[in-house]
Chain A
Amino acid sequence: MDDNPRFAAAARGLLTGSGISVVGVASTGAEALQRAAELRPDVALVDIDLGGQSGFDVVRRLHREAGLAPSQLILISSYDEQDFVELIEASPAVGFLSKTALSAAAIRNLLTRGDEGRRNAGETPGR
Chain B
Amino acid sequence: MKAGLTRRMLIASGLLALVISAAFAVLLASVADLRASERSARHSEEVVAAANRLERLVVDVEAGERGFLATGQDSRLELWRNGQAALPDQAAELQRLVADNPEQLGMARQIETDATSYIRDYSTPLIETAMRDLGAARSQAASSEGARRIDAIRAEFDRLVGAEHEQAVAGQHRSGAAGRQAIAAAATGLAGSVVLIVVFTGYLSRVVIGPVRRVAAMADRLAGGDLGARLPERSVGEIGVLERSFNTMARSLQANRDELAASRTRIVAAADQARRRIERDLHDGVQQQLVSLALELRAVEASSPPELSAPLAGAIDALVGATDDLRELSRGIHPAILSEGGLPAALRALARRSAVPVELTVEVPERLPEQVEVAVYYVVSEALTNAAKHAEASVVHVEVRKHDGRLHLSVHDDGIGGATAEHGSGLIGLIDRVEALDGTVDIASPVGEGTTLVADLPIEEP
Which A residues fall within an 8 A CB radius of B?
Answer: 3-4, 6-7, 9-11, 13-14, 17-18, 48-49, 51, 54, 56, 78-80, 82-87, 99-100, 102-103
Contacts and interface: CB of A to CB of B under 8 A. Distances in A.
Interface in B308-359: 320, 323-324, 327, 331, 335-337, 340-341, 345, 348-349, 352-353
B292 A79 contact: no
B305 to A, nearest CB: 15
B344 to A, nearest CB: 9
Nearest to A48: B340
Closest 4 CB pairs of A and B: A10-B295, A10-B292, A4-B288, A14-B299
Interface residues on B, range: 20 to 34
Contact of B345 (A51, A87, A103): A87
Contacts of A83: 331, 335-337, 349
Contacts of B137: none
A111 B345 CA distance: 26
B348 A86 contact: yes
Nearest to B335: A83
A48 B339 CA distance: 12
A79 B288 CA distance: 11
Interface in B253-302: 283-284, 287-289, 291-296, 298-299, 302
A40 B331 CA distance: 36
B6 interface: no
Nearest to A80: B327
A101 to B, nearest CB: 8
B143 interface: no
Contacts of B289: 6
B336 A49 contact: yes
13 contacts: A6-B288, A9-B292, A11-B292, A14-B295, A14-B302, A17-B303, A49-B336, A54-B340, A78-B287, A78-B327, A79-B337, A83-B337, A86-B341
B283 to A, nearest CB: 7
Interface of B: 283-284, 287-289, 291-296, 298-299, 302-303, 320, 323-324, 327, 331, 335-337, 340-341, 345, 348-349, 352-353
A14 B335 CA distance: 30
A103 B294 CA distance: 11
A78 B353 contact: no
The DSSP consensus for interface residues of chain B is helix
B284 A4 contact: yes
Contacts, number: 82
A105 B353 CA distance: 28
Contacts of A100: 291, 294-295, 320, 323-324
Contacts of A49: 283, 336, 340
Nearest to A102: B295
Between A4, A14, A48, A78, the greatest number of chain B beta carbons within 10 A of the residue's beta carbon is seen for A78
Given A78-B323, A84-B345, A99-B291, 16 more contacts: A7-B291, A10-B292, A10-B295, A13-B295, A13-B296, A13-B299, A14-B296, A14-B299, A17-B302, A48-B340, A49-B283, A49-B336, A56-B340, A78-B287, A83-B337, A99-B295
Given A13-B299, A49-B283, A80-B331, A7 B340 contact: no
Contact of B283 (A6, A78, A102): A78
A89 B327 CA distance: 22
A14 B298 CA distance: 7
Contacts of A87: 340-341, 345
B316 to A, nearest CB: 9
A103 B295 CA distance: 8
B292 A7 contact: yes
A103 B316 CA distance: 13
